[in-house]
Structure 1
Amino acid sequence: MIVPTPIGNMEDITLRALRALRQADIVACEDTRRTRKILERFNIKAKLVSYHEHNERQRTQWLLGILREGKVVALVSDAGTPGISDPGAVVIKEAIKEGIKIEALPGPTALIPALLLSGFPLEFFSFFGFLPRKRKERKAYFERITKAPPPVALYVSPHRIKTDISDLLEALGPVEGAVIRECTKVHEEVVRGPLNVLLEWAEENEPRGEMVLVLYPSCHEEDKERQVDGNGWLCKAKELIDKGEKVKDVAKRIQEEYGIPKNKVKKELLHMNTEERR
């Protein structure tokens, strides 16, 4: 059973989740210490085993053996729903391959409340989890983000929020966004604004706790293709031109905000204008 646990407020745990934890023969958890606190809070006694990113593949085979015996395993993460940017996907996939029945319980997740609190339209949305750390992989992520249906949601750690927002600003430009921090907790906070404003907030406040970053890129489809490789400033320049500003004024503003040489801005705008006339 995939059992979601509270992401901050203990009152968010469901009756079904409590019953699943009581009935389980084994509770596989990301951190036994954190899960034990939840069990103690609700007077639940269960056998705990660790299941985290460092032992996921090795532990999966052991859990499959338990499941083959007909025993019940409850899979939990430190907070939220296992398998979504948390350990769990491997054992779920392998259990399905073997025809083992899986129950996925509904419950807490930071993603959906964050999307709602962002205030952006939600006919569609895209989710990218945590940004990878390697430069090549990040570049690929940014390319995918520019083509994804907005809003785009990402998980952000307090140790990397400034780096992540800075890199996203370079790749996408000052698109509208929202940071939802400590969702469901006492000190829940929502900060809305363009990415450059969110970066200033992060640099000034050194935010702590778990966070979700929601973005709403609003460029035209033909412009999105040109955002890759850190050229998100083109979208901003095009928007300013569409509003009636002169090319020289736009070039000056882009240079001030992004550090892009004015001659390069003018050249790209001229190129875009030529393409539109064809």
Structure 2
Amino acid sequence: MQNQHSFDQHDSGTLFLVPTPIGNLDDMTVRAVKTLQTVDLIAAEDTRNTQKLLNHFEIETKQISFHEHNTQQRIPELIAKLQSGLSIAQVSDAGMPSISDPGKELVAAAIAANLPVVPLPGANAATTALIASGLAPQPFMFYGFLPRKASVQKAELTKLAQQEQTVIFYESPYRVAKTLTAIQAIFGDRQAVLARELTKLHEEFIRGSLSELIDWAFESARGEFVIMVQGADPVAPVASDVPLVDQVQALIDNGDKPNAAIKAVAKTNGLNRQAVYNAYHGLEETE
């Protein structure tokens, strides 16, 4: 067990996870700017891209590259710097570090070394798109980029097709039509929403059935996309021939608490919880 008090005094440095704007520079928070100004080093996915952000906010902190191709080389170096007392801010090109971007390996290594890891809130494309989509915002499932290999992608989509919550994907403009077609083939022609160029001048939401979005995407796809797909319809409960009392008792014998077993049996059979409770306890229904 590990208990981190983020803002206590530490002998080591701190790893700060700093989100950056996904398009509109005005979405950079005051705290994010101050953090980038005060840390000893910025670990950036693309130092050239991040330098534009630093120049805009007049931040002079030194950078070091940290991306998917040098992760294993950099992590020991960055951990050593943190252990020596230096604080590091980790940033991706846009949005939250680790969310479809580099970062998770460094976070895991820092935690394993008992180093403090402090996240900052900020811009995120998935939730920004979701709240304006018109689809159910909760619960939702964020998936990110689907695998490219067709067989692996099909297997993943087959599993996701059973989810009853809104499912969120990321995709490039070059593959969005193909990806939508693959989703429709497994999910059916559900309602879905595309969000593109979020927070930028040409921000756009395209809402409709998957078939309508496919037609649009083949003609008009530009910019980075968030794809949001309506969840599956709940499966209608199927009544069992086994008496309710026996169903409840079987769950209890398997380790469930009586109330949890009663609730589960009620859901399975499409019954009111009280009806199952009464049946199990031998109580008569009252008008």
CA deviations over 1:7-28 (Å, ceiling 9, x no partner): 0000000010001100111101
Name the structure 2 match of 1:124.
139
Counterpart of 1:13 in structure 2 is 28
Structure 1 residue 145: Cα displacement: 1.2
How high is the TM-score relative to the length of structure 1? 0.77
Give the structure 2 partner of residue 55 of structure 1: 70
Tell me which of 91, 96, 103 is aligned to 1:81. Answer: 96
1:124-273 superposed matches below 5 A: 124-205=139-220, 207-221=221-235
Summarize deviations over 1:134-185 as a string: whole Å, max 9, x none: 1232122102211324111111111111111111111111111000001111
Matched-pair contact (CA < 8 Å) for 2:163–2:232: no
1: distance between equivalents of 2:117 and 2:222?
A: 35
* Preserved contact between residue 169 and residue 227 of structure 2 (Cα < 8 Å): yes
Measure the CA separation in 1 of the matches of 2:198 and 2:150. 29
Letter of the aligned partner of 1:213 in structure 2?
I
SS at match of 2:89: strand
- 1:38 maps onto 2:50 in alignment: no
- TM superposition shift of 1:220: 3.8
Which shifted more, 46-55 or 188-197?
Answer: 46-55
Do structure 1's residue 110 and structure 2's residue 125 form an aligned pair?
yes
Find the counterpart in structure 2 of residue 100 from structure 1.
115
Cα distance in 1 for residues equivalent to 2:124 and 2:184: 26
Q: Is the 8 A contact 2:161 2:232 kept in 1?
A: no
Count of residues in correspondence between the two structures: 222
> Which whole-Å CA distance do the structure 2 matches of 1:159 and 1:33 have between them?
24
Do the aligned partners of 1:28 and 1:50 also contact (CA within 8 Å) in 2? yes
Structure showing greater Rg: 2
Letter in 1 for 2:233: C
Do 1:125 and 1:151's aligned partners in 2 also have CA atoms closer than 8 Å? yes
Unaligned runs of 5+ in 1: 224-278
Q: Which amino acid aligns with 2:235?
A: E
What residue identity is the alignment partner of 2:80?
A: G
Q: How large is the Cα RMSD of the aligned pairs?
A: 1.4
Query: Which sections of structure 2, spanning at least 5 residues, go unmatched?
Result: 1-15, 238-287
Q: 2:44 aligns with which of 24, 29, 50?
A: 29
User: What is the Cα deviation at residue 218 of structure 1?
Assistant: 3.6
The normalised TM-score by structure 2 is 0.75
Higher percent of residues as helix: 1
Name which of structure 1's ranges 135-144 and 170-179 shifts more when overlaid on structure 2.
135-144
> Kindly, what percent of the aligned residue pairs are identical?
41
Cross-structure match for 1:227: none
In the alignment, residue 192 of structure 2 is paired with which amino acid? G
